[in-house]
Amino acid sequence: MTALDIQRALAALREIQVKAVELPPSCEHDAHVIAALAVTVEQILTCAMADAA
């Protein structure tokens, strides 16, 4: 995975986090799970990008 691929993935994860917050109140639990997963993947990709540098 190139640095550009990682940057694109990070941008997509940020969009997912924004969309999760926009879910209706009835989906609040799902929104928290989605956001938590996105943060975890973002952290992994950030570490991978730092290791690649």
The mean pLDDT value for 43-50 works out to 88
CA-based nearest residue to 8, from 40, 47, 45:
45
- Work out the number of other CB atoms within 10 angstroms of the CB of residue 49: 17
Confidence of residue 51 (pLDDT cuts 50, 70, 90): confident
DSSP state at residue 23 = S
Q: What is the tens place of the pLDDT at every residue in 3-46?
A: 888 889 989 999 998 999 899 999 999 999 998 999 899 899 88
Which residue range forms the structural domain that includes residue 8? 3-52
CB of 48 within 8 A of CB of 30?
no
